[in-house]
Structure 1
Amino acid sequence: MIKLGLIGHPVGHSKSPHFFKTKLASIGKSDVEYKAFDVENIDEFEEIIKFEEGLIGLNVTIPHKQSVIDKLCYLDEEAKAIGAVNTIVKTENGWKGYNTDSFGFSKSLKPFIKGRHERAIVFGSGGASKAVVYSLAKLGIKTVVVSRTPSDGQIGYDELTSEAMAHYLLLVNCTPLGTYPKIEDCVDIPWEGVTENHLAVDLVYNPEETTFMKRSKSQGAKVMNGADMLRLQAERSLEIWLEYGL
């Protein structure tokens, strides 16, 4: 049996298995199994690809989008530029990494971008954040990354002011805060700086309306979750697997 899957931790909340089961059936490939692997340590990846018979492709989610790179033979050019991977495929020469988050984020965001959204604040500095920053740069949008552990060019949450928020009218939450079941969690930011001119995007899609979105809406901002991005990046992942003979 041909198998696909998802690696990450935790993965119990993921909608990917249901999405791919439905999608695969719609293209006449209901015999392909899609399985979620709860992988706490990325070293477990090597055991999965060795012992899971028939496995030809995987999606990669938090917290392994960067750490999985060292386990792969080579990367697609865009994944290399981003520095994070969310889709991998078994090739004749070994496992290859791609990033479809960038595609999904850009395509889902474009219909909502206005002229005033020329600067963005990105919360989080993990693999998803890297894809978002890359995508925003391609759209000509300047970004500031806010992180709990800021590195060069980034700032900490304690450095973020309401005055700065007023000048960055696109807000993107790339942290897992607020994901089910910890739905009350949220980034700690100066909410008084959020206005009706802001667009607040949360990559979290479960629940459909996160605390980040609710608090942004209460300040008058427009909001969107990560559901469209999830669907679009997943569809692109499937296209890649099909290109390799799924």
Structure 2
Amino acid sequence: MSDPVPSRETLRAGVLGSPVGHSLSPTLHRAGYAAAGLTHWSYTAHEVDEGGLPPFVAGLTDDWRGLSLTMPLKVAAADLAESVTDTARAARAVNTLVRTDTGWAADNTDVHGITAALREVGVMRVDRATVVGSGATARSAVLGLVGLGATHITVAARTPQRAEALGDVADVVLEVVPIEDWSRTGAPAVVSTLPGGSANAAAAGHADDGLAGATVLDVVYADWPTPLARAATDHGARVVSGLEMLVHQAARQFELFTGQSAPVAAMQAAGRAALGHSPDA
């Protein structure tokens, strides 16, 4: 009788943040593991704030291979890394830690998520684009649009000084306009980085027919469609849900953690089912 085949070591990954209960990351990553046959991988959510991040990471055993990071950890995580990618440095945000032979490597997959979500609907290249909002996600949006070839980016924001600071993100011509003009820039691609709620609804009130034929990525994925998404659709834009960005950034994390190609379709299906989105929502 042959010796039994030893079982593979269970490998672990997870998402950290505070609050973290709303995170879709476990749904997406677990769907990816199931589709890829990675039965020895697990993915869990952990409530961790900034003060708790260093001891949490220091206490992880060697079977931990990767961490997804949400607010408020995207800045503090860089201090725990042995290396930081150029993308994460430019975005000034880390949403991924990957264990390497020399320590943790920090990356930002939100930028990839934005680029991939737009490419998936046929936006392969743009010269001009618009970013709505000037918060932390706006930096990732600028980088994602530069990845599609944008050399002229208009930022529509309530705070001009914050918007102008985005000029150091990449080598682009940056123009700042009032947020009320976000739909009148004539850009073929628009990324709204506004959160859900009142800011999103207020911007929706300024949508007009200047959006006809444009592609609008709204990074919000909860309570879909948002007021901005509905208004953009009503004025002739093609709208992409923030869920698609979320899926693609998670898929990139999946690849960094496991070293295997991500089953994007399975991850999309799981995310859409969890939120009740139809495939063309």
TM-score by length of 2: 0.71
Distance change (3 Å), C-alpha of 1:37 and 1:211: farther
Give distance in 2, aligned partners of 1:45 and 1:97.
14
Shift in Å, 1:116: 7.8
Decide which moves more: 74-83 or 88-97: 74-83
Partner of 1:139: 148
Give distance in 1, aligned partners of 2:247 and 2:157.
27
Distance change (3 Å), C-alpha of 1:187 and 1:90: farther
Structure 1 counterpart SS, 2:105? strand
Is 1:186 equivalent to 2:200 in the alignment?
yes
Contact preservation (8 Å) 1:76, 1:97: yes
Unaligned 5+ residue runs, structure 1? Answer: none
Give distance in 2, aligned partners of 1:24 and 1:226.
22
Give distance in 1, aligned partners of 2:250 and 2:183.
34
Distance change (3 Å), C-alpha of 1:91 and 1:161: same
Shift in Å, 1:194: 4.8
Shift in Å, 1:45: 1.2
The counterpart of 1:239, out of the listed 239, 249, 255, is 255
Give distance in 2, aligned partners of 1:152 and 1:204.
20
Deviation per CA, 1:13-49: give whole Å up to 9, x if none: 221101111211233322322111233x322111221
Give distance in 2, aligned partners of 1:31 and 1:208.
34
Partner of 1:118: 128
Matches for 1:93-172 after TM superposition, within 5 Å: 93-110=102-119, 111-113=121-123, 118-126=128-136, 128-141=137-150, 142-147=152-157, 150-151=161-162, 153=164, 159-162=178-181, 165-172=184-191
The counterpart of 1:50, out of the listed 48, 54, 58, is 58
Distance change (3 Å), C-alpha of 1:99 and 1:20: same
Give distance in 1, aligned partners of 2:247 and 2:36.
16
Q: Which amino acid aligns with 1:118?
A: R
Structure 2 counterpart SS, 1:14? coil
Q: Which amino acid aligns with 1:174?
A: T
Structure 1 vs Structure 2 CA RMSD: 3.0
Structure 2 counterpart SS, 1:85? coil
Shift in Å, 1:79: 2.4
Give the number of equivalent residue pairs. Answer: 236
Partner of 1:173: 192
Structure 2 counterpart SS, 1:37? strand
Is 1:30 equivalent to 2:49 in the alignment?
no
Distance change (3 Å), C-alpha of 1:197 and 1:63: farther
Quick check: which has more Rg, 1 or 2? 2
Shift in Å, 1:213: 0.6
Partner of 2:226: 210
Contact preservation (8 Å) 2:84, 2:105: yes
Q: Which amino acid aligns with 1:134?
A: L
Is 1:70 equivalent to 2:86 in the alignment?
no
Partner of 2:13: 4
Shift in Å, 1:168: 3.6
Contact preservation (8 Å) 2:132, 2:179: no
Shift in Å, 1:105: 1.6
Unaligned 5+ residue runs, structure 2? Answer: 1-9, 167-175, 261-281
